[in-house]
Each structure stands twice: as C-alpha cells, then as structure tokens.
Structure 1
Amino acid sequence: MSGTMRAVDIENGKGPISALHIKDIPRPTPTDSQALVRVKAFGLNRMDLLQREGQYPVPPQAPATLGVEFSGTIESLGSSGGGAENFAVGDEVFGLAYGGAYAEYIAVSVHMLVRKPKELSWEECAGIPETWITATQALYLVANFTKGKSVLWHAAASSVSIAGIQLAKAEGASGVYATARQDEKCAFAVDKLGATAAFNTTRSNWADEVLKATDGKGVDIIIDFIGAGYFRDNLTAAARDGVIVALGLMGGAVVEGDVNIAPILMKRITYVGSTLRSRDEDYQGKLRDQLVEHALPKLRDGSFKVYVEKVLPWEKIQDAHRLLEENKTKGKVICTIS
C-alpha cells in the first residue's frame, strides 16, 4: 500500500471555499487501539465551515484535515487489533473522529466505530455519527430527558435537530416543538419528523407561541444552537425547573440590550453549555454506546430516518461547502469517495 493518500486540503491553512482542493498527503498509521478505515463517504457539518475559515478551536489530537464523521471498511488494525470491540479487517463500519474524514483513509479509535447495518447505505451511515451522537448527548447526558418531559429544538431542519426531534418523540416526550426561519422548514418538522408544532421565528414571537401551545407552562428542555439571539426568549419559553442546553452560537455570542435574568432564579432554570469534539475518548465512547442503544435499532427498522439533502462526489467539495453555507438544507450534505 502506498504511503500517501488523497485528502481535501485548505490552501494556506485557512480561507474561503475556493481554498479547498484535493492533494496527496501522508497516509496515517493506526496506533495501538485504532483502525485504519478506507473512507467510502463522509458527512459535512457546520463546524467544518468554521474550521476552514480558521474560526474553530480544533482539539490538539485532531489532524489538519477536515471532517469528523465517515463510513467505510477497515483496512488494518493497530497492535491491539480489534480489542474488546472484536473488529476485523474488512468490517464495514461508520464512526466519529476528532478530524481527518475528508480523505481516502482515516485512523480512528475502535471505540468510536459502529458496525454498518446492511439496511443503511454508505451515505446514510456517514451522516449519522456527529448528528445523532450530539442529539443523544444533549437529550440524555446533559438535559437528563425522561419520558413525559417536553422538548424544544431550535434550527428544526438542522441535522442534529432532525435527529433530536425523532428521538424525543419516540422516547415519549409530552410535546416536541421546533423553530426555524422558513415556513417550509417548519412544515418539514411537523409533517415529516412528527413535531407537535413548529414556529417561524421571522413571523411571530416564538417564545409566546411556545407558552400558548403549552398552556403557559413552557417547555422542560430547550436545545439551542443560536446563542445570544435567542437567550432572552429561551428564558421566557423555559418551564419551571427547565434546562436550556447551548450547543452553538449561530446567532452570536454577545447578548445585546437589557436582559432580565430573573427567570433563571424564579423558574430555577439550568443553563448549560456543551460540546462534543473536545471531549475525551472515554466520554465519546459512552455516547457511541448511547447511540447504539437508543437510535440504531430504529434506524435499522426504518422508524428513524437519516435525511440526506444532497450527495456529491468529493471532487465537488467546494460545491458541498457552498450548499451548506446557503443554509437552505434539510438534512445532511454527504460526499462520496470512489
């Protein structure tokens, strides 16, 4: 096997979409508990756009190559082999990595691999790890969701919220609500994903709509990717003893104007931030196990669906990034490597 491989590179280390190109780089060698996977497909995430521009804090153990989720076949194993996971060369897998998925090969911990179900395509599997694990983390490990609680997912057509809406509904939420900035995306959340209701944040005060829909109670859990832009209204929409989980800052990091934080005290609100990529391998491994327990069986039988907006050959990586930046997608953008 050659000591090099093709991978997506960023000219000068960071830059606009036009800086993306494919070049030859050294092929990684799997360490003790890693597998070398020949990549069939990889998923795009919003963090990739930020990393390309030099605006994302990349973990120190991550390679320079973009991409954290992929599907493919095991090419070789490190010195400990498949370990307790019992993986073998030739196994079809998908998984989560600290980086490096935009490439022909990726070296990744066997603890972050999942066996590819025959019921799912390479493209669908490449769109599962980051999004479904993030949704699982936010719902169970951070917000402590239990049956009967109500949940609000912002950015309804984002891949994480698509996963989360399905999870919450299937696990017995008393109500599953969503927000988006387009009527089409709101309709998608209700008609396709089964949300109880979805609110267009450009047409009405969504927090008031949430209170109206919950008879004034508010929602028990809010999963937020927007940040400063929704901070005030999140406090309004949260129920007593509610939990607000901050996963992103798409609406900015600085809250402007006078903001009344009394609801945090009076409602006993828990406001917590969470990340995934910076977590250690043990934590991520536990999340993988949660994915296998809560989502994988329903993904296999079709109860849960991986929504893929577009599949492109990886030679069109610039088009893929452009599509994601337009913010019109409902689901994953996936690139395939032939």
Structure 2
Amino acid sequence: MKAILFDAPGSPEVLRYDDAPDPTPGADEVLVRVRATAVNRADLLQRRGVYAPPPGASPILGLELAGEVLTPAGPWRVGDRVMAVVTGGGYAELAVVPVGMVMRIPDSLSFEEAGAIPEAFLTAFLNLFTLGRLQAGETVLIHAGASGVGTAAIQLARVAGARVFATAGSPEKCALCRELGAELTINYREESFAARALDATGGRGVDLVLDFVGAPYWQQNTAALALDGRLQLIGFLGGSAGQIDLGPILAKRLHVTGTTLRRMPLPQKTALTADFVAFAHDRLASGELRPVIDTVYPLHQAAEAHRVMEANRNAGKLVLRVEESVTQP
C-alpha cells in the first residue's frame, strides 16, 4: 500500500509518499480501505518527534479515517461505509480498526465529510459530556472555536441545550463560530475573554471551559469559571509550564481534568464511541450536526496540509483524500 512516511523527526518536508507494508487485522479488527483521513495537531507533534504513538499503535500518522470494510468482523460486512478513530495509521491506503471503534457513515455524507468527523467529534463529545458533564442550560466557553474540535464542540453543546461562548483569532473565525451556534464570540487577540464571559453571565462565570492553549490561559480560565466550574485541558498549544495561581481551585471548588483520546484504554473508547453514535448519528444524517472542512488535499500533499495547520490558517478540518487503488485481499 501507499502511505505517508518519515524517517526522522522534522519539518513538513520530512514527509514522503511511499510504499509501506499492508496491515494485517486481528481477530477483533476490520481492515478498511481508507478513502479519507484528516490532519490533527497530534500528527504535527508526532512528526516533530515530541508525541510518540502508544505501544502497539501504527507508526504511520493519522488518527481518524473513513472508508470501506474489506475484511468482515463482528457486525461489519465487506463494502460497509465506515469511519473511526484510530491510534495511528490513517495516512495510508489500508488501516485496521478495532470492531468496537467502527461507526457507520450516514448515507448523506461523503467519505471526505466522514473523514473529518471521528477525532474532532469524539474528542469534543468526551470533554463536553463524558468528562465535562455539560447539562442543558449550563454555559460552556470553547477555546479555538474555529478548529476541528472547536467547531464540533460548538455544535454538540448547542444541540444539547447549553449556552455556548467561543474564542477565535479573527473576525472571520468568530463569524464561523456564530454560524455554528455560539451565542458569544470573543477575538482573543483583541480583548479579555474572561471579562467578556463574566459580563455575559452577570458576573457568575461559565460552568465549563474547553482549553487547548494551556498555561498562558490559566489565569483567565479560572477567573471565567463559576463556582464548582470545570476546566477540561485538551492541549497545550501555548505551553504547559508557567507561573500559575492555584488559589481559585480551592476558592471556587474548581474541577480540572486533562485527557488525551489517543491513549484511553480501548474499552473506554469503545463505550465512548457507542455513546457518541447514539447521540450524533441521526443528527449527522439530518445535517443538524455537520463537519466543517477548510480544504481537501490529496494524500500525497500531506506536507502542505501540515504547513497550513502549523500556520493556523485553517478554519475547520484539513482533510486528506486517498484516491490510489489497492489490491483487495
């Protein structure tokens, strides 16, 4: 099969489109002919050599995919259109997926649209509901609202009946967040998101914050949270180290949780997948929820997609279309 490979960590230029061994599915796995995958921040970190895949995972980049089943297992049959989160291997013509992680693609969605769903929507669902315990009527502040996870989180929170605030770095990205259902958008380059969030809640603060930035946002995040508020740490784009004040954790009885979907035990990810499908499949089929795609690139242009994400030029997902033919088993 063809795949995107690299021999040593580095810039996007280290990525190459080349031959790789075909993966072999285990007893509880399906082999998928990948039609589309998408770029995630974790892919950039892995390429740079600072985020190794978990033990046993494919060293090939790619944490999500959409395609067709080639070898049946469990309820899945040859030709089924499916999508899934994977621990690696998405940037390839073939990939193996545990049976419990496989999700059926709604008939109304293309492979490219489906390839933009799994990692973003499952990450958002995990942090909003499973860990963040967001309820209807509560208020959530979503950072990086125009990112893949951000655009998914805004929609999921909206359909769950929450008030949604979002930050973004340009007027255009703020407009996208409002289009998706954010009641309040804040350009973090121009104003204090904590001050705006407090003002919009009459000084009470928000119930939940989804943060991708890390240490630089700690003070504003804790200031923006209400009593018994929850802070979900999803990433550290601004760095993980710095001088922080722990006082608000005690004073406000705050709950701070960090997680990475990639390293969750498989039984937990399987349960998460089932919960997400029950909540979102019909909504994706009807268009009530939708993946937001910035650009679709052919797989061999993965390096360019990495450059775009590193420059923070995308709004929504960067999808890689896998068009090459493979010999079916």
- The TM-score, its normalising length taken from structure 1, stands at 0.93
Give, in whole Å, the separation in 1 of the partners of 2:161 and 2:119: 23
Aligned letter for 1:7? A
Give, in whole Å, the separation in 1 of the partners of 2:320 and 2:247: 46
Give, in whole Å, the separation in 2 of the partners of 1:316 and 1:282: 34
Choose the corresponding residue for 1:227, options 199, 207, 214: 214
Deviation at 1:90, TM superposition (A): 1.5
| Partner secondary structure for residue 272 of structure 1 | strand
Deviation at 1:183, TM superposition (A): 2.0
Aligned letter for 1:59? P
| Partner secondary structure for residue 148 of structure 1 | coil
Q: Which residue of structure 2 lines up, in the alignment, with residue 23 of structure 1? A: 18
Q: Deviation per CA, 1:289-317: give whole Å up to 9, x if none.
A: 12211222111101111111001111211
Percent of aligned pairs with the same residue? 39
| Partner secondary structure for residue 61 of structure 1 | coil
Matching of residue 8 in structure 1 with residue 36 in structure 2? no
Choose the corresponding residue for 1:39, options 34, 56, 65: 34
Aligned letter for 1:155? A
Cα contact 1:231–1:255 (8 A) shared by 2: no
Choose the corresponding residue for 1:92, options 81, 94, 97: 81
Q: Which residue of structure 2 lines up, in the alignment, with residue 310 of structure 1? A: 295
Segment of structure 1 superposing worse, 260-269 or 95-104: 260-269
Q: Deviation per CA, 1:183-231: give whole Å up to 9, x if none.
A: 22112211x1110101111111110111001100000000100000100
Deviation at 1:92, TM superposition (A): 1.2
| Partner secondary structure for residue 263 of structure 2 | coil
| Partner secondary structure for residue 333 of structure 1 | strand
Aligned letter for 2:275? Q
Deviation at 1:42, TM superposition (A): 0.6
Q: Deviation per CA, 1:246-276: give whole Å up to 9, x if none.
A: 00000111123xx432221111111111111
Choose the corresponding residue for 1:180, options 154, 157, 168: 168
Give, in whole Å, the separation in 2 of the partners of 1:184 and 1:105: 37
Q: Deviation per CA, 1:78-106: give whole Å up to 9, x if none.
A: xxxx22xx111121111111100111100
Aligned letter for 1:334? V
Give, in whole Å, the separation in 1 of the partners of 2:29 and 2:290: 29
Cα contact 1:244–1:270 (8 A) shared by 2: yes
Deviation at 1:134, TM superposition (A): 0.3
Choose the corresponding residue for 2:159, options 150, 156, 170: 170
Give, in whole Å, the separation in 1 of the partners of 2:281 and 2:314: 24
Give the RMSD, CA atoms, in angstroms: 1.0
Choose the corresponding residue for 2:281, options 277, 296, 307: 296
| Partner secondary structure for residue 22 of structure 1 | strand
Deviation at 1:333, TM superposition (A): 0.5
Give, in whole Å, the separation in 2 of the partners of 1:251 and 1:290: 31
Matching of residue 69 in structure 1 with residue 72 in structure 2? no
- Unaligned 5+ residue runs, structure 2? 324-329
| Partner secondary structure for residue 277 of structure 1 | helix
Between the two proteins, the alignment pairs up a number of residues equal to 323
Q: Which residue of structure 2 lines up, in the alignment, with residue 134 of structure 1? A: 123
| Partner secondary structure for residue 285 of structure 2 | helix
Give, in whole Å, the separation in 2 of the partners of 1:327 and 1:130: 18
Aligned letter for 2:153? G
- 1:207-246 matches, within 5 Å, as 207-246=194-233
| Partner secondary structure for residue 211 of structure 1 | helix
